[in-house]
Amino acid sequence: MRHFDKITIIGVGLIGGSIGLAAKRRGLAREVTGVFRRRSTMRNALKAGAVDRAVMDIGEGVKDADLIIISSPVSSIPKLAMMAAKSAKPGAIITDVGSTKAWIVGAMDRSLRSSRVRFVGSHPMAGSEKTGVTHARGDLLEGSACIVTRTPGTDRNAMVRVADFWKALGARVKILSPSEHDRAVSLVSHLPHIVAFSLASSVPDKALEYAAEGFRDTTRIASSDPELWADIFHTNRREIALSAKAFRDSYEGIIRAIASNDRRRTMKALVRAKRRRDSFMVKYGLRKR
């Protein structure tokens, strides 16, 4: 079932590469083009079969594309999307995979107000602490959530086509406003990353000899790319400040209960946390990925 004749992916790393692999495998496009900054990535992407055609010039890469996917670090997305819009054909749809949405979608809605190119924000919520096209997997998006944004400036037809594309890759699509998106992901994704980075930093090297599975799993995402995550954190500052307070209140509550030897209060907090986490696993944790 072909969704688009030509798809162009700008930035072919873990996510962009996985989208290319999946789109080709499922026959969603006649041709998938990748736009690269580095020759080494280009070679790896072609070897992995993530793209059919590889170019280094954005204008050349997007000029015939029906769908353009910007899959680069958050801070570069508006600029790359604008460059793509300049060379894209009328009616082309641009989407992105950025982990913050209000900052990106706001910039694009303002910039493309009178354009014949349509922009729709997306956030396929799949990933890994690993980066690069060599870790790309055709099934990365299967079973994961993908948020597509709707604003007063969003073209409905383009939004439906973008949503259908992610569904065809196996994602569970949800439509949210950019600010609803940023609130939700600040809690379920940005906050866990900040907590994992903080935890990894606070354990001195000489204690690590005794660390086991608990430490390993709790800090796994602290091995993520600092550049990518600094971008995400700094473009979602307001929501992160709110989520940070929610975590701080839980944490300080447990620490105070322990310090004052109030076992009943500790138990209450731990039971509540376990219930929340167990209910997550029952509802969402066991789904196919």
Q: Are 173 and 60 in contact (CB under 8 A)?
A: no
Q: Taking the complex as a whole, how short is the minimal distance between the CB of residue 197 and a second copy, in angstroms?
A: 4
Which residues between 157 and 216 bind a second copy (CB under 8 A)? Answer: 174, 183-185, 187-189, 191-205, 207-216
Site string for a second copy, 40-69 (x = CB under 8 A): ------------------------------
Give the nearer residue to a second copy in terms of CB position, either 33 or 71. Answer: 71
Strand, helix or coil at 53?
A: strand
Q: Taking the complex as a whole, how short is the minimal distance between the CB of residue 164 and a second copy, in angstroms?
A: 20
Which residues between 21 and 40 bind a second copy (CB under 8 A)? Answer: none
Please select the residue that binds a second copy; options are 147, 148, 162, 163, rule is CB under 8 A.
147
Q: Which residues, listed in sequence order, are joined to residue 124 by a DSSP beta bridge?
A: 146
Give the nearer residue to a second copy in terms of CB position, either 20 or 127. Answer: 127
Residue 260 per-residue DSSP state: T
Site string for a second copy, 260-279 (x = CB under 8 A): -x-x--xx-xxxxxx-xxxx
How many other β-carbons are positioned within 10 Å of the β-carbon of residue 172?
16
The enclosing H or E element of 7 equals: strand 4-10
Distance CA 8, CA 124 (A): 17
145 part of the interface to a second copy, by CB under 8 A: yes
Residues in CB range of 125: below 8 A, 6 or more apart: 144, 145, 146, 147, 185, 189
